[in-house]
């Protein structure tokens, strides 16, 4: 019994430790502020310190690769906190989607500076374009940013960073101070003096200044022969050059911090609103068992949800090339997405709506309204949260969206190849590169990972134009994906549980692999056959998708549904669903169900669950009046008709009144 308890406790500890390790940055452990939707505004608005915030996405490989640098930087400038703080915000976290949109984050990682004492919401200042992201560069930019503050908005904890004018240096010696005064003599371009000043802002009994090496005679008098050098004036008025091994920031700072009487100030801690991450503290996501030889609709739908509601939604307005790319993307995906009927219908509705709009600019919010079905059009629906299955990572920041995006585009290339007629009347029917070119433009304009987009564009430029058939397009994407796999093998973004390999591996497709004179070679005909099977409808599993709460039930469901077409859905554990389920029983679903599933034979059965969940949502929107069911649309139409007929009656009334008055005037004969 005791052993069992101990094992349980150990398991719990292990689980908590794993969950802790789950995020790129850990609040309380990393020397930076982990901001969230609920805390970021409060932290940045009217703050007494400036901020530099990295908006990242946990699924972006470059962000994962950059995390050690950012952590090291935060540790390096920890003492600067009262003047400038380092923060991070994970835009890949569902709760933060809206916030990242508000801050206009298009790409990851994005670095923004926020001045102290900002009175109104601001999206911050961008990192200087073209600069590298080395620790030293970012640190120096933080200093430049602090110096850009006006006198009255400068963080109170930040001492003047400009050099003391040479005619004032002598006065520093005159004063009878009770503290040390250190003067770092340096060249104009050096940052050492400013770094040392900031390193010591949390220390008392010492003031650090910087001076330029322009007055050579004065330097000679002080015995300074090289720069940077640090000259120290003691509290008793004596002074001299300090002797250190290397003229480096760290040497100067640690020497000054260790002077007798110099100690850390007892600063009241800044009110940093760092909320414990929900997931880290309580929720440990359950691993979903999956079959790697299958394609999961949950991944494709989750990817589509993220793409439409998060990635694209960072663009407030679509116009020009972006709008064209979006329209073409929707046209192609509406025809080729091998999904459930409500999702396909949503894409088709979106496509028709876009075609019918003769606008050259569309605010993305209008598109979002349609994606979220604000108009309550019957039978359209797309899940609004992510559920990774074949794309789940062993840690939450790994895999996910980018994995689903690859899968989505592979699926589209295969669909175009196996159903070439699907694109008839779209203007793309004779274009073998249709999916590839559309992907290329999507990645260029919208993909959050800018560096990935650049790499992809280089590959596209090199050989995409040589693709002459739809089959070759399937192979082109496969080949280029393997190039990316090869480049990223061993990278920090690699999930140890899913190493980057040349795919498909021999266990998935033995016939794809051959050896020619002892050298590995691909059998491309077999690879094509394999891809056409792997990314095709019959290989898609509908396990774990919305409306299927119990996985085992769902798995069975795939098979069972085919046999028991009319068997009722088992109630889910969800309370809301239960209520809706009851409503369904009271309110026969026949018409809507028939309408939704009538037109597509093969997808009919597997769509049933999705359709039912749509119906459950729709049932909510019906109002019963005299025993007849009215939808919200019906009710709105009634109101419109009522208002229109009242207006018509009023107009008629005034018209006849005017006419009768005119008639009276005309035929009025006063008695004489
Ligand atoms: C266009 C694009 C460019 C990218 N460029 C970069 C980059 O430059 N740097 C970076 O760090 N990250 C980049 N990424 C992200 C990176 O490629 C992975 O998506 C991410 O690291 C997650 O990897 P993963 O293990 O889920 O497998 P992924 O590479 O995402 O693959 C997803 C799934 O596709 C299947 N698959 C794998 N290889 C192939 C293939 N050759 N053909 C068909 N199917 C295959 C497998 O089932 C695999 O699980 C890019 C993503 C995209 C969509």
pLDDT tens-place string over residues 50-64: 999 999 998 888 899
Query: What CATH number corresponds to the domain at position 212?
Result: 3.40.30.10
Residue 534 in contact with ligand 1 by CB distance below 6 A: no
Residue 405 in contact with ligand 1 by CB distance below 6 A: yes
CA of 58 to the centre of ligand 1 (A): 15
Residues 300 and 439 grouped into a single domain: yes
Is the pLDDT confidence value at 587 over 60?
A: no
Task: Kindly indicate the confidence band of residue 493, based on its pLDDT and cuts at 50, 70 and 90.
Answer: confident
Residues 30 and 63 grouped into a single domain: yes
Is the pLDDT confidence value at 612 over 80?
A: no
Task: Kindly indicate the confidence band of residue 668, based on its pLDDT and cuts at 50, 70 and 90.
Answer: low
Identify the CA nearest to 76 among candidates 186, 244, 198. 198
Catalytic residue among 63, 158, 230, 449: 63
Question: Who has greater pLDDT, 628 or 185?
Answer: 185
Residue nearest to atom 3 of ligand 1 (CA): 452
Residue 386 in contact with ligand 1 by CB distance below 6 A: no
Residue 547: its pLDDT value, please?
A: 58
Is the pLDDT confidence value at 367 over 70?
A: yes
Whole-number Cα distances in Å, 557 to 390, 561, 567: 19, 5, 11
Q: Where are any strands of DSSP class E within 584-650?
A: 623-625, 628-630
Is the pLDDT confidence value at 623 over 50?
A: no
Is the pLDDT confidence value at 620 over 60?
A: no
CA of 49 to the centre of ligand 1 (A): 40
Q: Has residue 353 been placed in a domain?
A: yes
CA of 532 to the centre of ligand 1 (A): 18
Residue 51 in contact with ligand 1 by CB distance below 6 A: no
Q: Has residue 259 been placed in a domain?
A: yes
CA of 484 to the centre of ligand 1 (A): 7
Residue 481 in contact with ligand 1 by CB distance below 6 A: yes
Task: Kindly indicate the confidence band of residue 566, based on its pLDDT and cuts at 50, 70 and 90.
Answer: very low
Residue 510: its pLDDT value, please?
A: 93
Question: Who has greater pLDDT, 172 or 231?
Answer: 231
**Tens-place pLDDT, residues 501-555:** 899 998 999 999 998 877 789 999 999 999 999 999 999 999 998 754 433 333 3
Residue 455 in contact with ligand 1 by CB distance below 6 A: yes
Residue 62 in contact with ligand 1 by CB distance below 6 A: yes
Residue 392 in contact with ligand 1 by CB distance below 6 A: no
> What 3 state SS string does 105-157 have?
CCCECEEEEECCCCCCCCCCEECCCCCCCCHHHHHHHHHHHHHCCCCCCCCCC
d(CA 146, CA 140): 10
Task: Kindly indicate the confidence band of residue 471, based on its pLDDT and cuts at 50, 70 and 90.
Answer: very high
Residues 117 and 175 grouped into a single domain: no
Region 452-458: mean pLDDT is: 95
Q: Has residue 308 been placed in a domain?
A: yes
Residue nearest to atom 45 of ligand 1 (CA): 503
Residue 4: its pLDDT value, please?
A: 53
**Atom of ligand 1 at shortest range from CA of 478:** 42
**Atom of ligand 1 at shortest range from CA of 451:** 8
CA of 235 to the centre of ligand 1 (A): 62
Residue 307 in contact with ligand 1 by CB distance below 6 A: no
Is the pLDDT confidence value at 288 over 80?
A: yes
Burial 420-457 (b: 16+ CB within 10 A, else e): eebbeeeebeebbbbbbbbbbbbbbbbbbbeebbebbe
Q: Has residue 608 been placed in a domain?
A: no
**Atom of ligand 1 at shortest range from CA of 494:** 21
Is the pLDDT confidence value at 573 over 80?
A: no
Task: Kindly indicate the confidence band of residue 152, based on its pLDDT and cuts at 50, 70 and 90.
Answer: confident
Residues 478 and 340 grouped into a single domain: yes
Residue 598: its pLDDT value, please?
A: 37
**Tens-place pLDDT, residues 375-400:** 889 899 999 989 999 999 988 888 99
CA of 492 to the centre of ligand 1 (A): 14
Residues 200 and 318 grouped into a single domain: no
| Pocket mutation for ligand 1, best pick of 404, 415, 484, 493 (most atoms within 8 Å of C-beta) | 484
* Residue 576 C-beta-side C-alpha neighbours within 13 Å: 7
Residues 251 and 334 grouped into a single domain: no
**Atom of ligand 1 at shortest range from CA of 531:** 43
What is the chain's mean pLDDT, rounded?
81
**Tens-place pLDDT, residues 98-129:** 899 999 998 899 999 999 999 899 999 988 76
Identify the CA nearest to 140 among candidates 148, 55, 31. 148
pLDDT cut 70: percent of the chain above it: 79
63 catalytic per annotation: yes
Residue 493 in contact with ligand 1 by CB distance below 6 A: yes
Helix then strand then coil, in percent of the chain rounded to 5, is 50, 10, 40
Is the pLDDT confidence value at 72 over 80?
A: yes
H-run or E-run covering 487:
helix 470-488
Whole-number Cα distances in Å, 622 to 561, 593, 601, 618, 642: 28, 15, 28, 7, 20
**Atom of ligand 1 at shortest range from CA of 443:** 1
Residue 632: its pLDDT value, please?
A: 53
Residues 307 and 401 grouped into a single domain: yes
Contact 394, 495 (CB under 8 A): yes
Strand pairing of 295-296 and 540-541?
parallel
Residue 267: its pLDDT value, please?
A: 53
d(CA 527, CA 587): 50
Please say which residue of 85, 118, 147 terminates a domain: 147
Region 6-12: mean pLDDT is: 48
* Tally of structural domains, the chain: 4
Residue 60: its pLDDT value, please?
A: 86
Residues 201 and 95 grouped into a single domain: no
Burial 35-65 (b: 16+ CB within 10 A, else e): bbbebbeebbeebebbbbbbbbbbbbbbbbe
CA of 399 to the centre of ligand 1 (A): 8
Q: Has residue 153 been placed in a domain?
A: no
Is the pLDDT confidence value at 279 over 50?
A: no
Residue 335 in contact with ligand 1 by CB distance below 6 A: no
Region 348-362: mean pLDDT is: 92
Query: What CATH number corresponds to the domain at position 456?
Result: 1.20.120.310
Is the pLDDT confidence value at 213 over 60?
A: yes
Residues 107 and 172 grouped into a single domain: no
Question: Who has greater pLDDT, 210 or 618?
Answer: 210
**Atom of ligand 1 at shortest range from CA of 454:** 8
Residue 403 in contact with ligand 1 by CB distance below 6 A: yes
- Exposed / middle / buried, residue 580 (Cβ in 10 Å: 0-12, 13-18, 19+): buried
Rg over alpha carbons for the chain, rounded to the nearest Å, is: 33
CA of 129 to the centre of ligand 1 (A): 27
Q: Has residue 316 been placed in a domain?
A: yes
Strand pairing of 206-212 and 180-186?
parallel
Q: Has residue 495 been placed in a domain?
A: yes
Task: Kindly indicate the confidence band of residue 609, based on its pLDDT and cuts at 50, 70 and 90.
Answer: very low
Residue 255 in contact with ligand 1 by CB distance below 6 A: no
Region 403-418: mean pLDDT is: 98
Is the pLDDT confidence value at 26 over 90?
A: no
449 catalytic per annotation: no
Task: Kindly indicate the confidence band of residue 244, based on its pLDDT and cuts at 50, 70 and 90.
Answer: confident
Question: Who has greater pLDDT, 622 or 211?
Answer: 211
Residue 283: its pLDDT value, please?
A: 41
Residue 634: its pLDDT value, please?
A: 59
Residue 551: its pLDDT value, please?
A: 37
**Atom of ligand 1 at shortest range from CA of 499:** 25
Question: Who has greater pLDDT, 610 or 443?
Answer: 443
Q: Has residue 277 been placed in a domain?
A: no
Identify the CA nearest to 301 among candidates 77, 546, 524, 517. 546
Residue 482 in contact with ligand 1 by CB distance below 6 A: yes
Burial 525-547 (b: 16+ CB within 10 A, else e): ebbbebbbebbbbebbbbbbbbb
Whole-number Cα distances in Å, 343 to 347, 383, 424, 525, 554: 6, 9, 21, 33, 19
Residues 370 and 422 grouped into a single domain: yes
Identify the domain containing residue 460 by its residue range: 295-501+535-539
**Atom of ligand 1 at shortest range from CA of 404:** 32
Instruction: Say how many Å lie between the first and final Cα of the chain, rounded.
Output: 122
Q: Which residues contact 656 (CB under 8 A, 6 or more apart)?
A: none
Residues 139 and 224 grouped into a single domain: no
**Three-class secondary structure of residue 232 per DSSP:** strand
Question: Who has greater pLDDT, 467 or 576?
Answer: 467
Residue nearest to atom 42 of ligand 1 (CA): 478
Residues 307 and 437 grouped into a single domain: yes
């Amino acid at each position: 019994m005791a052993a069992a308890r101990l094992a349980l406790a150990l398991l719990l500890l292990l689980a908590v430790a794993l969950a802790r390790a789950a995020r790129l940055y850990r609040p309380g452990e990393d020397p930076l502020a982990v901001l969230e939707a609920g805390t970021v505004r409060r932290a940045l608005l009217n703050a007494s310190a400036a901020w530099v915030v990295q908006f990242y996405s946990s699924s972006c490989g470059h962000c994962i690769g950059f995390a050690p640098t950012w952590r090291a930087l935060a540790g390096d400038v920890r003492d600067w906190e009262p003047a400038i703080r380092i923060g991070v915000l994970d835009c890949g976290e569902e709760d933060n989607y809206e916030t990242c949109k508000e801050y206009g984050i298009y790409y990851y990682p994005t670095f923004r500076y926020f001045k102290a004492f900002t009175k109104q919401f601001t999206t911050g200042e961008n990192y200087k374009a073209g600069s590298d992201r080395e620790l030293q560069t970012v640190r120096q930019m933080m200093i430049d940013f602090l110096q850009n503050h006006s006198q009255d908005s400068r963080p109170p904890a930040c001492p003047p960073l400009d050099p003391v004018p040479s005619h004032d240096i002598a006065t520093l010696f005159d004063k009878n101070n009770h503290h040390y005064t250190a003067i770092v003599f340096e060249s104009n371009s050096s940052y050492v003096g400013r770094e040392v000043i900031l390193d010591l802002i949390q220390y008392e009994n010492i003031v650090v200044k910087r001076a330029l090496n322009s007055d050579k005679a004065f330097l000679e008098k002080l015995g300074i022969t090289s720069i940077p050098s640090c000259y120290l004036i003691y509290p008793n008025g004596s002074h001299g050059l300090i002797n250190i091994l290397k003229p480096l920031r760290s040497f100067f700072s640690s020497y000054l911090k260790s002077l007798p009487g110099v100690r850390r100030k007892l600063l009241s801690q800044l009110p940093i609103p760092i909320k414990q991450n929900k997931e880290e503290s309580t929720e440990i996501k359950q691993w979903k068992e999956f079959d790697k030889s299958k394609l999961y609709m949950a991944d494709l739908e989750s990817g589509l949800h993220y793409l439409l509601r998060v990635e694209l939604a960072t663009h407030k307005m679509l116009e020009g090339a972006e709008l064209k790319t979006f329209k073409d993307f929707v046209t192609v995906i509406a025809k080729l997405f091998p999904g459930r009927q409500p999702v396909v219908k949503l894409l088709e509705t979106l496509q028709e709506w876009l075609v019918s709009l003769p606008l050259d600019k569309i605010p993305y919010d209008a598109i979002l309204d349609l994606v979220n079905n604000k108009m309550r059009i019957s039978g359209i629906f797309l899940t609004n949260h992510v559920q990774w299955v074949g794309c789940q990572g062993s840690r939450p920041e790994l895999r996910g969206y980018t994995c689903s995006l690859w899968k989505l585009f592979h699926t589209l290339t295969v669909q175009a190849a196996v159903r070439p007629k699907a694109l008839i009347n779209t203007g793309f029917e004779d274009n073998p590169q249709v999916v590839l070119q559309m992907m290329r433009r999507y990645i260029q304009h919208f993909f959050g990972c800018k560096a990935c987009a650049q790499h992809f564009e280089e590959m596209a430029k090199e050989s995409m134009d040589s693709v002459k058939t739809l089959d070759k397009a399937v192979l082109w994407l496969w080949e280029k994906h393997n190039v990316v796999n090869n480049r990223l093998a061993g990278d920090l973004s690699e999930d140890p549980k899913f190493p980057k390999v040349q795919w498909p591996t021999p266990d998935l497709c033995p016939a794809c692999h051959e050896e020619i004179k002892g050298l590995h070679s691909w059998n491309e005909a077999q690879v094509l056959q394999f891809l056409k099977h792997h990314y095709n409808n019959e290989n898609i599993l509908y396990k774990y998708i919305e409306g299927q709460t119990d996985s085992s039930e769902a798995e069975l469901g795939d098979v069972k549904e085919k046999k028991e077409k009319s068997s009722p859905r088992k109630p889910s554990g969800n309370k809301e669903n239960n209520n809706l389920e009851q409503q369904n029983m009271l309110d026969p679903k026949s018409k809507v169900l028939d309408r939704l599933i009538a037109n597509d034979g093969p997808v009919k059965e597997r769509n049933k669950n999705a359709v039912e969940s749509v119906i459950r949502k729709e049932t909510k929107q019906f109002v019963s009046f005299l025993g007849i069911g009215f939808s919200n649309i019906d009710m709105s139409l009634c109101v419109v008709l009522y208002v229109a007929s009242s207006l018509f009656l009023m107009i008629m009334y005034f018209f006849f009144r005017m006419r009768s008055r005119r008639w009276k005037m005309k035929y009025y004969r006063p008695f004489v």
